[in-house]
Amino acid sequence: MAEKGKEVRASPMELMKQLPGEDCGDCGFDTCFEFALAIFDRRKRYDECTKLNDAQRKALAKMLAPPMREVVLGVGERARRIGGEEVMTREELGFFGKTVIAYDVWDTMSEERLRDRLKEIYEIKAVKVKEAFSADAIAVRNVSGDPKKFKEAVKIVSEQTDVPLILCSFDPKALRVAVELVKDKRPLLYAATKDNWADVLELAKKYAVPVAIFSPNDLDTLGAIAKTFAKNGVEDLVLDPGTFTEPGSLLQTFCNLIMLRRACVEDGVKEVSYPTMAVPATITMTVGDRKKAAQLETMLANALITKGINLVILHYPNTWGFFPMVMLRESVFKHPKAEEKVDPGIYEFNEPDELSPVLVTTNYTMTYGVVSSELERVKVPCWLLVVDTGGLSLDTVAGTGEWADLLEEAVDEFNLDEKVKHRILIVGQVVAEYKEDMEEALPDWKIVIGPKDSTEIGPFLKEKWKEFLKESGIEA
């Protein structure tokens, strides 16, 4: 691979020179310099400044272009932006092109089986704080070798889902009929190889869609094909250096991906400055036992996510594999400067009314996440008052002696008395010893100590809430 030399990142001062200098505050910062700092470490995008002229916009786009190209898969709300990385390890700045998690379907399935598998894939969900996650993309594989069958399968899948599609075939004829059908959905063509690249290049040019280049364990060929594509104006590329799952060969998979990342972000090698992908689903070729293969697939995908891989294609859709994968991804791709806080306020769960219970928690992400997931799960209508503790958990803030005051401020600030008729607050057991302080701070409210564990919230509310209302003289 030829080396071109790493480009130096623009400094905040250099970025500042391209900003309007009006300090208008439209971007959420009091000064343009604060905004320059935010775009420097990628907490904000430069186009969030509302006062840029064309020249400034162009200059900032150039100065802030990451060494790794960003590639968009799909269209609309479910489109995914991958790549755009600048560093080897996330601690240096952060990873940004979140791993797209795709599951495969194939064209030898009957229509009924295909629809069932799509349903099975979309039933898998993971909830983190307020966000629900499901599969990001579907990879349709041309197992039959028949372009007509491939087209039919792609048609069924495209009618069933709005996520990005990955059209998997080494046969340009099959890719042609499929991409013709879904060209407006900006699918990823998988893949151009040393044998078919000329035909796939023509397709990518004609339909303006991204392309994956597959060159197992041969980075020079991978770079050479990518360079030819780029020369011909096709730059939305994803690199697949192969996923090796035979015993003893796993290391090769990681070495290739790390070498590509290093060449891109450290050495500035333009021909490999694209997002990378892997296909853990290839585990099906080396491990016969389904359970074992599913476990190994998940382990491999998780290991790849920690390295900042941009796309993985999987074969085994299951909750126990998907949930940790998503949690890991959200953590690996979280900006290092992102705050571990939820916005304080009153949150509604399951359409509460003025007689519904009010539970109290803090704005620490983890605490909020655990409580809110449980409330979603038990389906009891209720309100959740999220107190601003500066992102501290309930047990941490309890020890500061400030909990009662913070709670009082939240009740007051968010006008809780306008939301509910009753005056009952359910707080966690970890602040039970501060009950008197809370009663003193909120004399109009009855403080009820809730269950110890969030999994007991459902039964607790179902069994006791009406009783609490009755004790307060309210008939539900």
- Summarize as ranges the residues that interact with ligand SF4 (CB under 6 A): 19-20, 22-27, 29, 32, 35, 49-51
Q: List, in sequence order, every beta strand (DSSP E) within 121-225.
A: 126-128, 131-133, 137-141, 165-168, 188-192, 211-214
Q: Shortest distance, CB of residue 61 to ligand SF4, whole angstroms?
A: 15
**Which lies closer to ligand SF4 via its Cβ, residue 17 or residue 206?**
17
**Which lies closer to ligand SF4 via its Cβ, residue 25 or residue 233?**
25
Q: Shortest distance, CB of residue 37 to ligand SF4, whole angstroms?
A: 11
Angle between helices 147-160 and 111-123 (to 10 degrees): 40
**Which lies closer to ligand SF4 via its Cβ, residue 64 or residue 474?**
64
| Cβ contacts of 380 within 8 Å, gap of 6 or more | 349, 350, 357, 457, 458, 461, 462
Alpha carbon distance 310, 274 (integer Å): 10
**Which lies closer to ligand SF4 via its Cβ, residue 27 or residue 281?**
27
**Which lies closer to ligand SF4 via its Cβ, residue 27 or residue 166?**
27
φ, ψ (nearest 5 deg) of residue 207: -105, 0
Opening angle at CA 107, ends 176 and 288, nearest 5: 125
Alpha carbon distance 203, 126 (integer Å): 36
Q: Shortest distance, CB of residue 97 to ligand SF4, whole angstroms?
A: 25
What's the one-letter identity of residue 366?
A: M
Q: DSSP letter at 127? A: E
Q: Shortest distance, CB of residue 32 to ligand SF4, whole angstroms?
A: 3
Alpha carbon distance 345, 328 (integer Å): 27
Q: Shortest distance, CB of residue 122 to ligand SF4, whole angstroms?
A: 40
Q: Which two tokens stand for residue 294?
A: 């599913």
Q: Shortest distance, CB of residue 45 to ligand SF4, whole angstroms?
A: 12
**Which lies closer to ligand SF4 via its Cβ, residue 35 or residue 316?**
35
